[in-house]
Copies of this chain bind each other. A is one copy, B any other.
Amino acid sequence: MLEKSYEGVVYYDDTDAGGVVYYANYLKYCERAKQEFFIEHGCDLFKLHYEGVYLVVKEVKANYKKSLRLGDKFEVYVGVKKLRKASVLLEFEITDGSEAVFTGEILSVSTDGNGNIVKLPECVSNLLT
């Protein structure tokens, strides 16, 4: 049910002194995959950004199962878990090509430039149909 939306290599900039990807940087990978997932489904969040509509993160749950190390390849899978009027809950799984190294959920709400909650853009609310 999840779709591969982003893949990459672990470069130095995402690692830390433990030799592995710094824990917060898995969320960068998820966020990049979120952009690509929406573009794939006809919804360019970058364009929405310039129109003053934002999908702002409200909640994150993350499970770290295994460490990605410098030079590892990885893939990020994304799926929609729940759609509401003004929010979307996405699921994420990052793999090293064979097994999950990270799973997570990110809840985003739709806001305007003043931070007010607004209805999801149509291209998002149509995601499950």
User: A residues within 8 Å of B by Cβ?
Assistant: 9, 11-13, 15-20, 22-25, 27-28, 31-32, 35, 44, 46-47, 49-50, 54, 56-64, 67, 69-71, 115
Asked if B70 and A17 sit within 8 Å, CB to CB, the answer is: yes
Bound form: Cα–Cα A54–B64 in Å = 15
Asked if A49 and B70 sit within 8 Å, CB to CB, the answer is: yes
23 contacts between A and B (CB under 8 A): A9-B32, A11-B28, A11-B31, A11-B32, A12-B17, A12-B18, A12-B35, A13-B28, A13-B31, A17-B17, A17-B49, A18-B56, A23-B27, A23-B31, A23-B57, A23-B60, A24-B24, A44-B71, A46-B70, A59-B61, A60-B60, A60-B62, A67-B115
Chain B nearest CB, measured from A116 CB (Å) = 13
**A interface majority secondary structure:** mixed
Q: Which interface residue of A32, A47, A63, A71 has the most chain B CB atoms within 10 A?
A: A71
Chain B nearest CB, measured from A83 CB (Å) = 19
Contact (A71, B46) CB under 8 Å given A17-B15, A24-B24, A27-B24: yes
